[in-house]
Chain A
Amino acid sequence: DAGVTQSPTHLIKTRGQQVTLRCSPKSGHDTVSWYQQALGQGPQFIFQYYEEEERQRGNFPDRFSGHQFPNYSSELNVNALLLGDSALYLCASSPGPGRASGNTIYFGEGSWLTVV
């Protein structure tokens, strides 16, 4: 049973560029969330997707956008990259809302983004 998988694992981008990160949720999970983890800090919630719609959003600018596909996989897009966007980007999956185990959230290994 594959867990949450993310790609790429590492990437380096230049200020002003755009980046797309990808995530496949754990088998049986249909809800995907994205978190940003700066070095030495706890993960910060970016947004969550369920049924291909953004359901919740954290305190992140519109430069951060996402998408969920019919197979529940998801993409995180960041436009106009800033140096401060350098972080570990984590994808998390969980069973859909309404399920008893809906709070059980599993994380992938993350995508390390460095903006230079």
Chain B
Amino acid sequence: QQQVKQSPQSLIVQKGGISIINCAYENTAFDYFPWYQQFPGKGPALLIAIRPDVSEKKEGRFTISFNKSAKQFSLHIMDSQPGDSATYFCAASMLSRGGGNKLTFGTGTQLKVEL
């Protein structure tokens, strides 16, 4: 069962534009929502993360918007640059009874920023 749905599958944005990637989750027990950036042949790199008690978090050109009632969150990349071209994954996690946590990933969005 897909617990985190991500859209769009691919996105082309002009340099300087805004890239927007959306995710929706089903399990209300999730309490941590990170975004990862992955370049070809590399592991995912933590970009920015948010907890459900906050509606927005901004770090540089990257902003997460979080809507708890709608169970949706999104990544906004302002002033998109060619170097931002990568695959972006949203994810969600919760602390388990055993005390650990695991990430449930979305299906990924391939972003291409054109000159």
Dominant SS among interface residues on chain B: strand
- Chain B residues whose C-beta falls within 8 Å of the C-beta of A16 in the assembled complex: none
A107 and B108 in contact (CB under 8 A), knowing A43-B103, A45-B102? no
Q: How many residues of B contact A (CB 8 A)?
A: 26
The distance in angstroms between the C-alpha atoms of A97 and B96, with both chains bound, is 9
Query: How many whole Å from A23's CB to the nearest CB in chain B?
Result: 11
| Chain A residues touching B, range | 20 to 34
> Is A110 positioned at the interface, with any CB of B under 8 Å from its CB?
yes
The distance in angstroms between the C-alpha atoms of A43 and B4, with both chains bound, is 12
Known: A50-B100, A97-B95. 9 other contacts (CB 8 A): A42-B107, A43-B89, A43-B103, A44-B105, A55-B98, A102-B95, A104-B34, A105-B101, A107-B46
Closest 8 CB pairs of A and B: A97-B99, A42-B105, A103-B32, A107-B43, A55-B100, A55-B98, A45-B102, A109-B43
Measured CB to CB, the residues of A under 8 A from B are: 4, 31, 33, 35, 40-45, 48, 50, 55-56, 58, 88, 90, 92, 94, 97-98, 102-110
